Structure 1
Amino acid sequence: MLAELAERHRVPAAQLVVRRGGATESSAAGVTSRAAFPLGSLTKPVTAKAVMALVADGELDLDESLEEQLGPLHRSRTPRGLLSHTAGLPATLREEHENLTRARWAARFDEEAFPPGAQFSYSNPGYVLAGHLVEVITGMSWADAVSTIVLEPSGVVPAFTAGAGGREVVAGHSVQSGHRTVVLDGPPGPAIEAPAGGLALSAEDVLALLDADSARMCDDQVAGMAVGPFGLADGWGLGWARYQTWWGHDGTGDGTSAHVRFDPVTGDAVVLTANASTGPALWRSVLERLAGRGMVVGDHPFSSLPGAGDPVPPPAAAPGRYVNGGLVLDVTTTSGGGLALALDGRPYAALTCFSGHRFVAEELTSARMAYTGRFVTGPGDAVTHVQISGRLSRKL
């Protein structure tokens, strides 16, 4: 199945592990089962597991202020807020901070995009802070700490996109039109962001990390909030995301993707790693094929709105400027009456609106990726925010 679907989606290498009813099947196409794939944001639950280990050891309290560990700038932040993306932090780091060490950055990071604890907004800086918190408490680097606390006790040989760890990391590929596939061998992302996306592991490695501690992290922290993780998941725990009754996380990198879903009650799980920009499409095909075999895995489509019906006219109050930290989004009306989205002043996507102020944003780039989003309204149906793939931006 994996070989067939990987060929269909032009994915050069992939790994698939399925655990069902206590039995495990593992498969690899174009690579060995031990090859390490960049995990992207699937790194975040591993950082969260390190934080939760410190909580279990009494070194941290989930709801105590981080002022003692990180300084007065972090008085309003808690470990729970960082791990559940409810700390009110920006979606991304500012470019001018990317070459700083985590210690120097944390000592000056005083940004707050939203009131802490009031809403969900996916945040890379939140996990950079979580990684630095682990460093401060353990006295080790983030890489050494997650290796010692999380990976090695599970029998996992550490590997990182920066090349540390002694394992070769699979390169990503861009699948382009005309049956052209291009190898992407650029440098890894900024070192400061490693706790949010710097791990590289195999699908079998990821499965080995799904233990009892993972199940304890599956307590929905955003249930009842006015703004949840729309466009990403159905709920969010302490590191893991909720997809109906399943839990897991997705991660994308430069021409790579990684996906995991697990049922904390039955122990059933699915893990896929892929080294092409079409990896998310391969993931959807894998889930469809598994459903045909009687294994229905919870998911939250990020590129479509199932059952949305026909497109509708956009909300009249939608156009405007929206901000999230240093991220600036401009929504404008097109000559045809639709909506267009610009990212930091550059045309980025066309928006197709549906009922409930929801929309699908289709990139104008060659990749033509699609993402779901919505306009969030306040009193009098006034548009106050826009949310795309779980990232919230406030209307000026």
Structure 2
Amino acid sequence: MLDELAARHQVPGAQLVVRRGGATTASAVGVAADAAFPLGSVTKPVTAMAVLALVADGDLDLDDSLAEHLGPAHRHRTLRQLLSHTAGLPATLREEDETLTRARWAARFDDEAFPPGAQFSYSNPGYVLAGHLVELVTGMGWAEAVTAIVLEPLGITPAFVARTGEREVVLGHTVRSGETAVLLDGPQAPPIEDPAGGLALSAADVVALLDADVKGMCEDQLAGAAVGSFGLADGWGLGWARYQSWWGHDGTGDGTSAHVRFDPGTGDAVVLTANAGTGPELWRSVLEGLAAQGIEVGDHPFSSLPGAGDPVAPPAGSTGRYVNGTLTLDVTTTPDGLALALDGKPYAGLTCFSGHRFLARELTSARTAYTGRFVTGPGDAVTHVQISGRLSRKL
């Protein structure tokens, strides 16, 4: 199945591990079974595991103010909020911050997108701060700390995208319609973001990671939140996301992707790594192939809205400018419907459905679409837009 699907989606290298009923099946196409793939955001649960080990040791507290460790700018923010993306932080770092060390960046940090604790909005800076907390408590760099606290006890030798190490990291590829995959050679993300996306492992390593006690991480933290994780997952724990009754995380980099799903009750797990930009499409095909074999894996709709019905007119007041930190989104009306511009550049067309939901389909790749919605407040006035779990406030 993996051979056929990888060829269909022009993915040069992929690993697939399925653990079911205590039995594990592993396949690799175009790469060694133990090759290290950039995990992208699947790094975040590993950072969370290191944080929670320090919580268990009494060095950190999930619900204490972070002011003691990070300064007065964080007095209304908690570690639980960082790990569950409810700390009110922007989705991304400012571009000029990427050359800073985590210590210098955290010391001057004063960026708040929303009130802490009020709503879910996926945030890389939240995990950069969590990684910095690990560094402050342990006196080690983030990479050394997660290796010593999380990975080595499980027999996992890590690789890191931003530096050379004991293992070589698989490079990504870009795929354009009708063309062969083109190798990308360059850094996946700046080193400051390593706690949010800098780890590289094999699919088998990720399954081994799940042999740790992850059940405590799989308790949904979003009850009572004004805005949940719509468009990204069905709920969120402490590091891991909930997909129906399964848990896991997705990660993407420059021409790479990683996808993890597991059932904490049974130990069943499915992990895919891929070294092409079409990895997310391969993942959806893998889920369909597994379902055809009777293996149903929990997932969240990525490019479809089940039961949405026919397209409808956009909600009143949906056009305008929305912001998330320094990120700016402009929603405008065109002859073809709503259009979305990202930081002033045309990005996607929006097709609206009932419940203020929409599909955002990229202009440069018609096959790439993201689920989103307009969020309303008093009087049903549009106050925010949410795309793939990332929230932006209307100006």
Shift of 1:211: 2.7
- Of the structure 1 ranges 231-240 and 177-186, higher mean CA displacement relative to structure 2 is found in 177-186
Q: Distance in 2 between matches of 1:71 and 1:227?
A: 27
Shift of 1:225: 1.9
Q: Distance in 2 between matches of 1:179 and 1:306?
A: 31
- What's 1:207 paired with? 207
Q: Distance in 2 between matches of 1:348 and 1:139?
A: 42
Shift of 1:224: 3.2
- What's 1:391 paired with? 390
- What's 2:172 paired with? 172
- What's 1:325 paired with? 325
Q: Distance in 2 between matches of 1:367 and 1:155?
A: 42
- What's 2:298 paired with? 298
SS at match of 1:287: helix
Equivalent pairs, count: 395
**Contact 2:247–2:261, Cα closer than 8 Å, also in 1:** yes
Q: Distance in 2 between matches of 1:91 and 1:387?
A: 11
Q: Distance in 1 between matches of 2:188 and 2:92?
A: 17
Shift of 1:212: 4.3
Q: Distance in 2 between matches of 1:273 and 1:356?
A: 34
SS at match of 2:214: helix
Q: Distance in 2 between matches of 1:98 and 1:91?
A: 14
User: For residues 188-223 of structure 1, what are the alpha-carbon distances to aligned partners after superposition, in whole Å with 9 as ceiling and x for unaligned?
Assistant: 311100000000100000001103421110000002
**Contact 1:359–1:373, Cα closer than 8 Å, also in 2:** yes
Q: Distance in 2 between matches of 1:15 and 1:188?
A: 19
- What's 2:341 paired with? 342
Answering whether residue 62 of structure 2 is matched by residue 62 of structure 1, we say yes
Shift of 1:163: 3.0
- What's 1:375 paired with? 374
**Contact 2:117–2:225, Cα closer than 8 Å, also in 1:** no
SS at match of 1:227: coil
Shift of 1:368: 5.0
Q: Distance in 1 between matches of 2:339 and 2:80?
A: 36
Q: Distance in 2 between matches of 1:165 and 1:47?
A: 19
> Map of 1:1-396 to 2, 5 A cutoff?
1-336=1-336, 338-366=337-365, 369-396=368-395
Shift of 1:164: 3.1
Q: Distance in 2 between matches of 1:94 and 1:15?
A: 34
Shift of 1:88: 0.5
Q: Distance in 1 between matches of 2:96 and 2:280?
A: 31
Q: Distance in 2 between matches of 1:22 and 1:188?
A: 34
Q: Which runs of 5+ in 2 are unaligned?
A: none
User: For residues 119-165 of structure 1, what are the alpha-carbon distances to aligned partners after superposition, in whole Å with 9 as ceiling and x for unaligned?
Assistant: 10000000000000000000000000001001111110010111332
Which letter maps to 1:340? A
User: Structure 1 length as normaliser, TM-score?
Assistant: 0.98
Identity across aligned pairs (percent)? 80
Shift of 1:264: 0.4
User: For residues 13-51 of structure 1, what are the alpha-carbon distances to aligned partners after superposition, in whole Å with 9 as ceiling and x for unaligned?
Assistant: 000000000111111111111100000000000000000
Shift of 1:248: 0.1
Q: Give me the CA root mean square deviation.
A: 1.0
User: Structure 2 length as normaliser, TM-score?
Assistant: 0.98
**Contact 2:154–2:212, Cα closer than 8 Å, also in 1:** no
Q: Which runs of 5+ in 1 are unaligned?
A: none
User: For residues 253-301 of structure 1, what are the alpha-carbon distances to aligned partners after superposition, in whole Å with 9 as ceiling and x for unaligned?
Assistant: 0010000000000110000000011111111111111111111000002
Question: Following TM superposition, where does structure 1 have runs of at least 4 consecutive aligned residues deviating by more than 6 angstroms?
Answer: none
User: For residues 72-123 of structure 1, what are the alpha-carbon distances to aligned partners after superposition, in whole Å with 9 as ceiling and x for unaligned?
Assistant: 2211111100000000001110011110100000001111111111110000
Which letter maps to 1:140? M
Which letter maps to 1:277? G
**Contact 1:73–1:107, Cα closer than 8 Å, also in 2:** no
Which letter maps to 1:103? A
**Contact 2:188–2:253, Cα closer than 8 Å, also in 1:** no
